[in-house]
Structure 1
Amino acid sequence: MAERKSWDSAYKYLFSSRQVFHQFLTRFVEEDFVQGISVDDVELVDKSFVSDELLDRESDIIYKVNLPENEVYIYVLLEFQSTPDKTIPVRMLLYILQLYDQLFRSSTSGLLPAVFPVLLYNGSRPWTVPFNLNELVAPRIPAKYIPSFEYYPIIERDIPPEKLERIKGLVAAIMYLEQQEDDAALKSTIDKAIAMIAEEQPEQLRQFSHWINRMFRGSLENNDIDKVHQLTEVKTMLAEVVDKIEQRGEQRGEQRGEQRGMQKKTFEYARKMLDRGFSIADIADITDLSEQEIRELAE
Structure 2
Amino acid sequence: MAERKSWDSAYKYLFSSRQVFHQFLTRFVEEDFVQGLAVEDVELVDKSFVSDELLDRESDIIYRVDLPGREVYVYVLLEFQSSPDKTIPVRMLLYILQLYDQLFRSSTKGLLPAVFPVLLYNGSRPWNVPFNISELIAREIPARYIPSFEYYPIIERDIPPERLEQIKGLVAAIMYLEQQEDETALARTIDRAIAMIAEEQPEQLRQFGHWINRMFRGSLDTGDIEKVHQLTEVQTMLAEVVEKIEQRGVEQGMQQGMQQARREDARKMVLEGLEIPLVSRITGLSEQVIREMQKEQK
- Normalised by the length of structure 1, the TM-score is 0.88
Per the TM alignment, residue 235 of structure 1 is displaced from its structure 2 partner at its CA by 1.3
**Aligned residue in 2 for 1:88:** 88
Does the 8 Å CA contact 2:266/2:290 hold for their aligned counterparts? no
1:260-279 alignment to 2 at 5 Å? 260-266=260-266, 269-270=269-270, 273=273
- Does structure 2 conserve the Cα–Cα contact (< 8 Å) formed by 1:270 and 1:287? no
**Which residue of the partner structure matches residue 54 of structure 1?**
54
Cα distance, 1:260–1:54 mapped onto 2, change above 3 Å? farther
Moved more, 21-30 or 201-210: 201-210
How does 1:65-76 map onto structure 2 within 5 Å? 65-76=65-76
Deviation at 1:114, TM superposition (A): 0.8
- In the alignment, the residues of structure 2 paired with residue 78 and residue 121 of structure 1 have an alpha-carbon distance, to the nearest angstrom, of 6
Cross-structure match for 1:204: 204
Give secondary structure in 1 for the equivalent of 2:174: helix
2:288 aligned counterpart, secondary structure: coil
Alignment of 1:146-185 (within 5 A): 146-185=146-185
State how 1:1-299 maps to structure 2 within 5 Å.
Answer: 1-266=1-266, 269-270=269-270, 273=273, 288-289=287-288, 293=292, 296-297=295-296, 299=298
Alignment RMSD: 2.4
Identity of aligned residues (%): 77
Contact 1:271 1:297 in 2 (8 A): no
Distance 1:294 1:174 in 2: 45
Contact 1:183 1:246 survives alignment (8 Å): no
1:86-134 Cα deviation digits (max 9, x unpaired) = 1111111111111111111122411111111101111111111111111
Change (3 A) 1:72 1:39: same
Deviation per residue, 1:31-68 (Å, 9 max, x gap): 01101211111111112221122111211111111111
Check conservation: 1:62, 1:73, Cα contact below 8 A: yes
Report the Cα offset of residue 265 of structure 1. 4.7
CA contact (8 A) 1:22 1:39 kept: yes
C-alpha distance in structure 2 between counterparts of 1:295 and 1:168, whole Å: 57
User: What SS class does the counterpart of residue 82 from structure 1 fall into?
Assistant: coil
Unaligned 5+ runs, structure 2? 276-284
CA contact (8 A) 1:218 1:244 kept: no
Whether contact under 8 Å (2:270, 2:294) holds in the other structure is no
Give 2:142's aligned amino acid.
P
Counterpart Cα distance in 2 of 1:246 and 1:138:
54
- Report the CA distance shift for 1:264/1:42 in structure 2 as closer, same or farther (over 3 A): same
Q: What is the rounded CA distance, in whole Å, between the counterparts of 2:142 and 2:262 in structure 1? A: 67
TM-score by length of 2: 0.88
Task: State the aligned residue count.
Answer: 290
Q: Residue 195 and residue 289 in structure 1: after superposition, are their counterparts in 2 closer, same or farther (change >3 A)?
A: same
**Aligned AA for 1:205?**
L
CA contact (8 A) 2:43 2:65 kept: yes
